[in-house]
Amino acid sequence: MAEMSPLAGKPADASILVNVPRLVTAYYTGRPDPSVAAQRVSFGTSGHRGSSLDNAFNEMHVLAISQAICLYRKEKGIDGPLFLGIDTHALSEPAFATALEVLAANGVEVMVDAAGGYTPTPVISHAVLGHNRGRTRGLADGIVVTPSHNPPRYGGFKYNPPHGGPADGEVTAWIEARANAFLAQGLQGVRRIPFDHARRAATTHAHGYLDAYVADLSSVIDLEVVRQADVKMGVDPLGGASVDYWGAIAERYRLNLEVLNRVVDPTFRFMSVDWDGQIRMDPSSPFAMARMVELKDKFQVAFACDTDADRHGIVSQSRGLLEPNHYLSAAIAYLYANRPGWGTSVAVGKTVVSSSMIDRVTARLGRRLCEVPVGFKWFVAGLVDGTLGFGGEESSGATFLRRDGTVWTTDKDGMVPDLLAAEMTARTGKDPGELFAALTAELGTPYSTRIDAPATVEQKLRLQKLSPEAVGASALAGEPIAAKLTHAPGNGAPIGGLKVCTASGWFAARPSGTENIYKLYAESFKSPAHLQELVSEAQGIVQGALERA
């Protein structure tokens, strides 16, 4: 990791706040050059993201992507409503207007928030699945205008097809190619109408997102047991799209829940600064969550969501801010012991870079583990058909089935894991930190890290295409190597890198999509010293594999 900023964990200084008028002006006036890779449409694991100040997220991008989605819908026969939501980033409002101009011009039936408010990512997924339940025709899909937890200067745009989850690589490649063709052609072929006409169009409809989602929450979380136990909770929406949802949840279910911050400000000046000196609404960062951690003794359990509410952060009295993998492990142990409506064959889903504590918890439960590449899209099919009870990522993203074993959302839902922490506390009398401590006493203590190591473009390509045979080593940090993986055990899909496992540790290496580095994840169940030995040897193994590839 790069050097820690002296601003980390401190209140944001006025000098680092984004100039919102300049940002929005650049959205409309910037002209991306399609011959420059960084200015083209590029869908990563969570849609297209960038800043208007870099000509990476401008009106032209949104016009092109929106028209490409219209063409994709037509080609695939998707003719039901499109559920459109936005978060609270400064660029989300103008991008929403641009998208609606194109969608209305193309005759798409668009569902916008009835109150003109913000709409979290999981709420869009919930709405799409709700509309499509039992249907084979007139299927809905969705768009969320959000760059997730990224800094205030960013904008983002992601598409969820009729399964309600993140679009897979084939879909995003199709949309990306057509959008870039529109950019190259000077937007020739893009249809749009003025925004006021689009708002009044017969195809634009008001939808009660908040009421529908909040009313259905008791089907996935036992909120009655939380109410009866009078669990004292605190929540910080971090200025994001869930800001109006928490008060509605507390009121409907009569919960002892205090909303600590209801401010929406596109500069996010109320945030404490993240490790690198940037404002980032990351509920898993101890620096971004510094204010919440200070309040841990005021509540039995406290939590937060990122800007589009697809990530969670849990603060317990016993351990402060829980590491994402620690909470996922405790949540899985609790859910599979307290969801009698889930069949015994329902599996646990995790990514290849998530903690092996999840493997140990799953084995103790007698459940099947489904280990997939990084990207929430890999959990979608299992959540839809109910064969996966839980899907979680090490980056604080998760969702799980309803209490009756049917699908809740197929995209990450930050609000549901937050509320689950309260259910766990209410039913067990212990907070999630204490529950994780009990797991470590039984299954061992994991020590983990992630570092960034330099890599050339050529080396990143080699790493992405490595075969297990490229790893010449037979031992790692004093233990025999048990597995050399370049494909995920759960579905056989390429992991885009390498994972090497021993009895008490592992490492995984994946190339960065945006920087000349590779990310090295490592975990030991022995000691911090063993973890450092593992990391050191892992770097040598990766270097050797790259040289032999």
Q: Map out the domains of the chain as residue ranges.
A: 14-212, 447-548
* Phi, psi dihedral angles at 393 (to 5 degrees): -120, 150
Q: Sign of dihedral through CA atoms 65, 385, 426, 397?
A: negative
Dihedral of the CA atoms 337, 302, 448, 382 (nearest 10)?
40
One of 66, 92, 148, 329 is an active-site residue; which one?
148
How far is 63 from 91, CA to CA, in rounded Å? 14
In the chain, DSSP finds a helix count (H) and a strand count (E) of 17, 23
Q: Which CATH class name applies to 447-548?
A: alpha beta
**CB-based contact 235:418 (threshold 8 Å):** yes
Q: Is the separation of the CB atoms in 111 and 83 below 8 Å?
A: yes
Q: Does domain 14-212 have CATH number 2.30.30.110?
A: no
pLDDT for res 514:
66
The pLDDT assigned to 549 comes to 61
Per run of 10 residues, the mean pLDDT along the chain (length 549 residues) is 85 96 98 95 87 98 98 98 98 98 98 97 98 97 96 97 96 96 98 98 98 98 98 98 98 98 97 95 96 96 98 97 98 98 97 98 98 96 98 96 98 98 98 98 97 88 90 94 96 95 96 82 97 95 81
pLDDT of residue 64: 98
Q: What per-residue confidence (pLDDT) applies to 235?
A: 98
Give Cβ neighbours of residue 191 (< 8 Å, ≥ 6 apart): 67, 70, 102, 105, 106
Backbone angles phi, psi at 175, to 5 degrees: -65, -45
Is 66 known to be catalytic?
A: no
Residue 548, pLDDT score: 73
Residue 545 pLDDT: 83
Fold equal for 14-212 and 447-548:
no
Amino acid letter, residue 137: R
Q: How far apart are CA 290 and CA 279, in angstroms?
A: 12
At 2 the pLDDT is 62
Q: Tell me the CA distances in angstroms from 333 to 319, 339, 367, 435, one per residue in order.
A: 18, 11, 11, 9
